[in-house]
């Protein structure tokens, strides 16, 4: 008699704390059994010769996010635009790359509260197939928003507030940032922060443009590492003042990561995230003929191969303990894309952001595990276990354990693939990783027990993704102990 809806048979199951060859019995969308052998006539998904990983959790994705002038230096384009990536296309792309859950962003438009955008965004998200949760962006921290609206979204299970310290229409002053920190503390939310110094970038941008240096490559010149380091230092110092945990988003360089490491060594609850673009792309990628460099433009700016090595070291030490995609796709063609202000527009007017939802796991696995920079366990923690814990999604998500959702990626660690835009299966007309060769590839994705991708073919009903209400984060970082369990005093380097 069949006990399970599905049995994943014969895989090498990666838990984040070692691997074991075992079968996984799935019932009602959850993992019901882990056993050496399950042979009871249940339907079987063969995983012989494959790794079985927890489905990826991408806790920093911009999907179908309606913006009123955003992610540009100039505030250009006050018109309302929506990320081309819909929840349906993002779901397809995520499943193609082995990711099963995302945390994406509810916008706030200046002059409005947060509830109107939330109502709209909930409807958009409900049309997808992958499981999702929200960060709430705060761009206008009025008393009404902080005192009355934030408690309402927390009651719905939205447990993180996102702030920008740069971008023309979005950035907060120090005074506003402190108000958000205080509100987060009262309501048990995490604060996630885009750390770059607004005034410094504005000053350099104006100087570059006045000198006629307007091509995409000057985006990197407008925001060197020091502007990231300064804002990271300030974001941490003010969070320390308020005694509020924060996560620093998309750390691109050693100097910003060092600020986080120092804070962690003092026992502060400060976490650091990085992304594949800061491990593979460089500022030189933006130095392509004509407008082509815009394809690589994101903030912070991609840096150098020497900096990649330093970011890897910060991952190895546990300073940076989550790797997300910061998926934020703008097509090269099209009215709302990179060329929205024209192909001759100065870099300041080109939307910042690159797509990477499907590429995240293959790139990190290939550059990290296949090339011997990190262990398989570390990969699992960076891409699933740690985001689940920090975002308050554990133990339901992020691990292969009895009782957890049956979200799995069946992974061929030896398969060699050359990345192409078609393989990304997203709505964007390019991938910045075109031509990159990776070793390791997802051959099947299982979301809550349903096989939603097999050999690159995604099959899932729109509207089947579930909202994930979140509890408070549960990553404890005792004084002097790093996230990877080492004592700070004995850590390498």
Binding of residue 448 to Zn ion (CB under 5 A): no
Interface residue with ligand URP among 101, 142, 352, 366 (CB under 6 A) is 352
Q: In this complex, which beta carbon is closest to ligand URP, that of residue 15 or of residue 160?
A: 160
Looking up tokens 């030189």 gives 284
Distance CA 118, CA 124 (A): 10
Binding of residue 279 to ligand URP (CB under 6 A): no
Q: In this complex, which beta carbon is closest to Zn ion, that of residue 228 or of residue 326?
A: 326
Interface residue with Zn ion among 159, 194, 338, 360 (CB under 5 A) is 194
Instruction: Tell which positions 11-70 bind ligand URP, by CB under 6 A.
Output: 62
Interface residue with ligand URP among 353, 362, 398, 442 (CB under 6 A) is 353
Q: In this complex, which beta carbon is closest to Zn ion, that of residue 194 or of residue 389?
A: 194
Q: In this complex, which beta carbon is closest to Zn ion, that of residue 42 or of residue 101?
A: 101
Query: What is the nearest approach in angstroms of ligand URP to the Cβ of residue 250?
Result: 6
Instruction: Tell which positions 170-229 bind ligand URP, by CB under 6 A.
Output: 194
| Partner touching 223 among Zn ion, ligand URP, none, CB below 5 to 8 Å by kind | none
Binding of residue 85 to Zn ion (CB under 5 A): no
Q: In this complex, which beta carbon is closest to Zn ion, that of residue 254 or of residue 273?
A: 273
State the virtual CA torsion across 81, 85, 88, 91 in degrees, nearest 10.
-140
Binding of residue 301 to ligand URP (CB under 6 A): no
Binding of residue 135 to Zn ion (CB under 5 A): no
Size of the residue set binding ligand URP (CB under 6 A): 10
Convert residues 64-103 into a mask of x (bound to ligand URP by CB under 6 A) and - (unbound): -------x--------------------------------
Interface residue with ligand URP among 85, 259, 321, 326 (CB under 6 A) is 326
Instruction: Tell which positions 448-467 bind ligand URP, by CB under 6 A.
Output: none
Interface residue with ligand URP among 8, 57, 286, 298 (CB under 6 A) is 298
Helices 254-265, 225-242: crossing angle, 10 deg rounding:
20
Binding of residue 329 to ligand URP (CB under 6 A): no
| Partner touching 352 among Zn ion, ligand URP, none, CB below 5 to 8 Å by kind | ligand URP
Interface residue with Zn ion among 168, 321, 326, 349 (CB under 5 A) is 326
Binding of residue 317 to ligand URP (CB under 6 A): no
Interface residue with ligand URP among 328, 340, 376, 408 (CB under 6 A) is 328
3-class DSSP string for the chain: CCCCCEEEEEEEEECCCCEEEEEEEEECCEEEEEECCCCCCCCEEECCCCEEEECEEEEEECCCCEEECCCCCCCCCCCEEECCCCHHHHHHHHHHCCEEEEEEEECCCCCCCCHHHHHHHHHHHCCCCCEEEEEEECCCCCHHHHHHHHHHHHHCCCCEEEEECCCCCCCCCHHHHHHHHHHHHHHCCEEEEECCCHHHHHHHHHHHHHCCCCCCCHHHHHCCHHHHHHHHHHHHHHHHHHCCCEEECCCCCHHHHHHHHHHHHCCCCEEEEECCHHHHCEHHHHCCCCCHHHHHCCCCCCECHHHHHHHHHHHHHCCEEEECCCECCCCCCCCCCCCCCCCCCCHHHCCCCECCCCCHHHHHHHHHHHCCCCCHHHHHHHHHHHHHHHCCCCCCCCCCCCCCECCEEEEEEEEEEECCHHHHCCCCCCCCCCCCEEEEEEEEEEECCEEEEECCEECCCCCCCCECCCCCCCCCCCCCECCCCCEHHHCCC
Q: In this complex, which beta carbon is closest to ligand URP, that of residue 42 or of residue 331?
A: 331
| Partner touching 71 among ligand URP, Zn ion, none, CB below 5 to 8 Å by kind | ligand URP
Query: What is the nearest approach in angstroms of Zn ion to the Cβ of residue 170?
Result: 9
Query: What is the nearest approach in angstroms of ligand URP to the Cβ of residue 169?
Result: 13
Query: What is the nearest approach in angstroms of ligand URP to the Cβ of residue 303?
Result: 14
Whole-angstrom CA distances from 228 to 237, 248, 463 are 14, 10, 39
Q: In this complex, which beta carbon is closest to ligand URP, that of residue 11 or of residue 302?
A: 302
Q: In this complex, which beta carbon is closest to ligand URP, that of residue 159 or of residue 194?
A: 194
Query: 192: which strand partners?
Result: 162, 247
Query: 163: which strand partners?
Result: 193
Q: Which residues of the shown chain bind ligand URP in the complex (CB under 6 A)?
A: 62, 71, 194, 250, 298-299, 326, 328, 352-353
Contact residues toward Zn ion (CB under 5 A) are 194, 326
């Amino acid at each position: 008699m069949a006990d399970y809806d599905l049995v994943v048979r014969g895989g090498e199951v990666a838990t984040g704390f070692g691997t074991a060859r075992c079968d996984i019995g799935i019932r009602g969308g959850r993992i019901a059994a882990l056993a050496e052998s399950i042979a009871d006539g249940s339907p079987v998904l063969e995983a012989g010769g494959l790794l079985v990983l927890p489905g990826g959790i991408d806790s920093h994705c911009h999907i179908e996010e309606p913006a009123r002038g955003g992610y540009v230096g100039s505030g250009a384009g006050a018109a309302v635009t929506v990320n081309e990536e819909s929840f349906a296309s993002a779901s397809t792309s995520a499943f193609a790359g082995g990711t099963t859950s995302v945390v994406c962003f509810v916008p706030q438009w200046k002059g409005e509260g947060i509830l109107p955008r939330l109502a709209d965004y909930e409807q958009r998200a409900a049309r997808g197939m992958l499981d999702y949760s929200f960060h709430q962006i705060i761009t206008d921290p009025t008393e009404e928003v902080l005192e009355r609206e934030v408690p309402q979204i927390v009651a719905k299970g939205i447990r993180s507030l996102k702030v920008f310290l740069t971008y023309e229409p979005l950035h907060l002053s120090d005074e506003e940032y402190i108000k958000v920190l205080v509100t987060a503390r009262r309501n048990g939310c995490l604060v996630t922060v885009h750390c770059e110094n607004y005034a410094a970038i504005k000053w350099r941008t104006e100087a570059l443009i006045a000198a006629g240096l307007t091509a995409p490559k000057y985006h990197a010149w407008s925001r060197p590492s020091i502007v990231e380091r300064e804002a990271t230092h300030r974001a941490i110092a003010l969070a320390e003042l308020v005694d509020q945990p924060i996560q620093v988003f998309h750390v691109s360089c050693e100097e910003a990561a060092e600020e986080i490491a120092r804070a962690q060594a003092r026992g502060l609850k400060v976490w650091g995230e990085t992304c594949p673009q800061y491990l593979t792309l460089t500022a030189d990628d933006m130095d392509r003929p004509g407008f082509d460099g815009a394809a690589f433009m994101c903030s912070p700016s991609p840096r150098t191969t020497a900096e990649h090595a330093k970011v890897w070291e910060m991952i190895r030490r546990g300073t940076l303990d989550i790797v997300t995609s910061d998926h934020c796709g703008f097509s090269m063609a099209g009215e709302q894309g990179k060329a929205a202000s024209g192909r001759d527009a100065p870099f300041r007017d080109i939307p910042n952001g690159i797509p990477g939802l499907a590429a995240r796991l293959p790139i990190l696995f290939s550059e990290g595990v296949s090339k011997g920079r990190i262990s398989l366990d570390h990969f699992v923690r960076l891409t699933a276990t740690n985001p689940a814990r920090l975002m308050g999604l554990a133990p339901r998500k992020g691990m292969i354990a009895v009782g957890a959702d049956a979200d799995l990626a069946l992974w061929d660690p030896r398969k060699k693939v050359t990345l192409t835009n078609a393989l990304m299966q997203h709505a964007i007309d390019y991938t910045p990783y075109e031509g990159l060769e990776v070793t390791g590839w997802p051959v099947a994705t299982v979301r809550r027990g349903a096989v939603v991708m097999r050999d690159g073919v995604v099959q899932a009903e729109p509207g089947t993704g579930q909202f994930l209400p979140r509890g408070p984060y549960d990553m404890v970082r005792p004084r002097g102990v790093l996230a990877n369990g080492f004592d700070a005093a004995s850590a390498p380097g």
